[in-house]
Amino acid sequence: MQNIIVVGAQWGDEGKGRIIDALARKADAVVRFQGGSNAGHTVVVNGEKFVFHLIPSGALRPEKKCIMGNGVVVDPKELLNELESLHSRGIEVNNLCLSSNAHVIMPYHQKIEEIEEEQRGKNRIGTTRKGVGPAYQDKAARRGIRAADLLDKNTLSNKLRINLEFWESSCGLKFSLEGILKQYLEYGKKLEKYIVDTSLIIHELVKENKAILFEGAQGSLLDVDHGTYPFVTSSNATAGGACTGTGVGPTRIDKVLGVAKAYTTRVGKGPFPTEIKNEVGELIRKRGQEYGATTGRARRCGWFDGVVLRYAVRVNGLDGLVLTKLDILGGLSKIKICTAYRYRGKIIEDFPSQAYHWQECEPVYEEMEGWEDDTFKARRIEDLPLSLQKYLNKIEEIGGVPILFLSLSAERDNLLAMRQDSASLLA
Ligand code: IMP
C-alpha cells in the first residue's frame, strides 16, 4: 500500500479532515506532522459532527494508529480535553502515540502570543491565540520543552526555570514555576502511556509495508517558508513538513495530494487577491458556514485562485487534487476563476514571492457559467452539470494536476471518485 501526504492547497480550512477520514479506511496509521490546536479538522458521520484540533482525523476508525509526530506542538490540556470529549461520545482513542520530541505549549506561550499580537498593532497576523507561534519560537531558540520532559521532574524543572527567566527578562512576564511544574507533571502522568519515539514506530510501519497517511494542517499558503509571510503560521504546512515533522525519509512517500475548496477562504489578516467584498462573498460565507472551527471567526471568502493552485502544485509536488464544497457554489449564475494576476500592467502566472508584490496584484478572471443547486445528489461524473464539468476542466488545466475526488457535501460517503485509480485509494 501507499504512503500518502495530504496537504491544504490554499490558506487552510479546505476540508482536509473529511478526506483524511475517507482515505483512512485503507490506511494503517494517520500521522499529524505539524501545527497544534490552531487546526480544526471536521468530520461528519451520520449527521454527527466531530472537530479534531490535535488528534489525527483517523481517530474515528478505532483500529488505526493515530500518531502525533515530533513536528506537532502539543497543548497537554487541550489534548486531554479532546480525548475526554471523544470518550464522552463513545469514542476511545486507544492507538494514540505522541512523539517524545513534540514540543509542549506552556501557559506562558498564550500570554506571549497575546502580547506580540498587540505589539504588531495594525500589522497583527490574526493568530488563533493557542500559543502555537511562541512554542515554535522556543523550539527554534533551543530552549523548548518536549513531551518527554514532562516525565522527568528535574529536567522539567530546570528547563522551566530557564524559560521563565528568559520570558521575564524579555517580556516582563511573571509565572509561578512551582504551579506550572505541578500541573505539567500531572499532565505528564496522564499522557505517559502515549509518549513514545514515534519516528521508530513509523519506521517499523514502513518496514512492514503498512499504509501511512500524513495529515497536513493549515494550508500551503500559511507555510512559514512558502506562504504569504509574515501572514502565516509558524510551521511547515507543505509536504516537506511531513518528513521533518515525523522523521520519515522522502523516499518513503508515494503520493502527495492537495485539498482545495471550489472557492477560496482565509482567516486572519494577509494578502488575498481574489477576496470578494460584496454580497456574493457574504452569500458564500453563509452557505459554506465559513466560520473558523477553532476560533469561530468569520472567514474571508473569494473566487478560486488558479495562481495559488499552480503555486501549491509546485511547492508540494502535488500528484492530485481533491476539490471540496462544490455544492456551496450551486445556484450562482456566473462563477469567476482567477487564471493569472496583473502586476504593473504585466500578466503573471506564477505566485509572486514578496509581500510588496502581492499588494499590487490584481486577479485576471475568466467568467464561467454556474450550475444548479442540487449537485450533491450526483453519484457519477456524467451526472454532473456540463457547466460544472467545464469548471473542473479549467481547474485541471490551470493547475496541471488531475482532480481525483470531488467532495459534494460534508457527509462521510459523499466523495465522488473522478478516475479509476482514485477510486482504488478508497476501496
Ligand atoms: P497561528 O497558527 O495561530 O499562529 O495563526 C497564524 C495564521 O494562520 C492566522 O492567520 C490564522 O488565522 C491562520 N491559521 C492557523 N491555523 C489555521 C487553520 O487551521 N485554518 C486556517 N487558518 C489557520
User: Is pLDDT of 378 > 80?
Assistant: no
Instruction: Confirm if 210 and 110 have CB atoms less than 8 A apart.
Output: no
Cell 511544574 belongs to residue = 181
In whole angstroms, give the CA distance from residue 224 to residue 37. Answer: 17
Tens of pLDDT, residues 284-341: 999 999 998 888 899 999 999 999 999 999 999 999 999 999 989 999 999 999 999 9
How much is the pLDDT for 411? Answer: 78
Report the distance separating Cα 93 and Cα 61, nearest Å.
Answer: 9
Which residue's CA is minimally distant from atom 16 of ligand 1?
38
Does the pLDDT at position 148 exceed 70?
yes
- Angle between helix axes 306-316 and 386-399 (nearest 10 degrees) is 50
> Cell digits for 129?
491565540
- 126-140, 281-295, 344-358: range with highest mean pLDDT: 126-140
- Binding-site residues for substrate sit at 293-299
- Does the beta carbon of 234 lie inside 6 Å of ligand 1? yes
Give CA–CA dist 266/301, Å, rounded: 7
- pLDDT band at residue 219, thresholds of 50, 70 and 90? very high
Task: Summarize the confidence of residues 333-352 as an average pLDDT.
Answer: 96
How high is the mean pLDDT of the chain?
94
Residue 397 C-alpha cell reads as 488545466
Q: Is the CB of 290 under 6 A from ligand 1?
A: no
| Residue with CA nearest ligand 1 atom 11 | 127
The 3-state secondary structure of 74-106 reads ECHHHHHHHHHHHHHCCCCCCCEEEECCCEECC
Q: Cell numbers 460534508 correspond to what residue?
A: 410
Q: What is the pTM of this model?
A: 0.96
Q: At CB < 8 A and 24+ separation, what contacts does 236-240 make?
A: 236/34, 236/71, 237/7, 237/8, 237/12, 237/34, 237/35, 238/7, 238/315, 238/316, 239/5, 239/7, 239/315, 239/316, 239/317, 239/318
| Distance from Cα 293 to the centre of ligand 1, integer Å | 11
Q: Are 44 and 411 in contact (CB under 8 A)?
A: yes
Q: Is the CB of 38 under 6 A from ligand 1?
A: yes
What percent of the chain is modeled with pLDDT above 70? 99
Domains along the sequence of the chain with CATH:
4-99+195-252 (3.40.440.10), 104-191 (1.10.300.10), 260-423 (3.90.170.10)
pLDDT for the residue numbered 303:
98
- Please name the helix (run of DSSP H) or strand (run of DSSP E) that holds residue 335, with its range, or none: strand 334-343
CB of 73 within 6 A of ligand 1: the answer is: no
Q: What is the pLDDT of residues 74-104, one digit of tens each?
A: 999 999 999 999 999 999 998 999 999 999 9
Atom of ligand 1 nearest to the CA of 217: 19
Tell me, using a 6 A CB cutoff, whether residue 338 lines ligand 1: no
Residue 380 has pLDDT above 90, yes or no: no
Mean pLDDT for 199-217 is 97
pLDDT category, 42, cuts 50, 70, 90? confident
Confidence at residue 46, expressed as pLDDT on a 0 to 100 scale: 87
Nearest to 339 by CA among 305, 369, 302: 305
- Residues at the binding site are 12-18, 38-42, 128, 142, 218, 233, 293-299, 325-327, 407-409
Distance 233 CA to ligand 1 centre (A): 6
Count of Cβ atoms closer than 10 Å to residue 77 Cβ:
14
Annotated binding site for Mg(2+): 13, 40
Task: Give 15-25 pLDDT, tens digit per residue.
Answer: 999 899 999 99
Task: Name the H helices within 121-213.
Answer: 132-140, 153-171, 177-191, 198-207
- For residue 301, how far is its CA from the centre of ligand 1 (angstroms)? 15
Nearest-CA residue for ligand 1 atom 9 is 127
The annotation places the binding site for GTP at: 12-18, 40-42, 299, 325-327, 407-409
| 97 φ/ψ angles, rounded to the nearest 5 degrees | -130, 135
Catalytic residue annotation? 13, 41
132 lines ligand 1 (CB under 6 A): yes
The reported pLDDT for the residue numbered 1 is: 55
The dihedral built from the CA positions of residue 25, 241, 275 and 395, taken in this order, carries a sign that is negative
Answer whether 254's CB lies under 8 Å from 3's CB: yes
3 lines ligand 1 (CB under 6 A): no
Nearest CA to ligand 1 atom 21: 12
- Cβ(243) – ligand 1 distance below 6 Å: no
The Å distance, Cα 11 to ligand 1 centre, comes to 8
Give me the sign of the Cα torsion angle 207, 213, 217, 220.
positive
CA dihedral over 54, 57, 60, 65, signed as positive or negative: negative
| Ligand 1 site-directed mutation target among 267, 269, 297, most atoms within 8 Å of CB | 267
Per the CB < 8 A criterion, the answer to whether 10 and 264 are in contact is yes
Rounded distance, CA 409 to CA 337, Å?
21
